[in-house]
Amino acid sequence: MMGLTLKRLRIDRLRINRLLYQLHRWTGVAACVLMLLWFISGMVMLFVGYPKLTPWERLGALPALASALSPACCRLPLAQVAQVAMPADAREIALTTVAGAPVYRVRDGGARLRLFDAANGQLLPPASAATAHRRCAGIM
């Protein structure tokens, strides 16, 4: 009787070992396929360019300036901004909207951003945390 149980135990042990070897083999094959796909996708990302938007496509998605203001209001203050507050090493100046109002965004050589009201040319103060939360409440 004891010989039968040892033989049976040995057979069960062989089955478990074979099952573990098979599991190890197929897990390795699956991992190999995963690594191959990862490598191929990396090569594709390396050599295939990303889609790019033209400047006109990017500008098309921006909100329009407030219709209550005439286009002439945004021309005169630019000269005022340039005379009074624009740094000599300005890298970028752009007319955009912030909170529905037209503003000039000026970036200097140190990558510092300043905003000027396009209607009167006054420097706008930095946004407070409460203002930022109020503006983001509609988005989230």
Q: What is residue 131's three-state secondary structure?
A: helix
Per-residue pLDDT at 15: 87
Per-residue pLDDT at 52: 87
pLDDT in tens, 3-62: 557 667 677 888 888 999 999 999 999 999 999 999 999 999 999 888 888 888 887 877
Per-residue pLDDT at 44: 93
Per-residue pLDDT at 78: 59
Per-residue pLDDT at 111: 75
100, 87 Cβ separation under 8 angstroms = no
pLDDT in tens, 85-128: 566 677 787 777 777 777 888 887 777 888 887 777 778 888 88
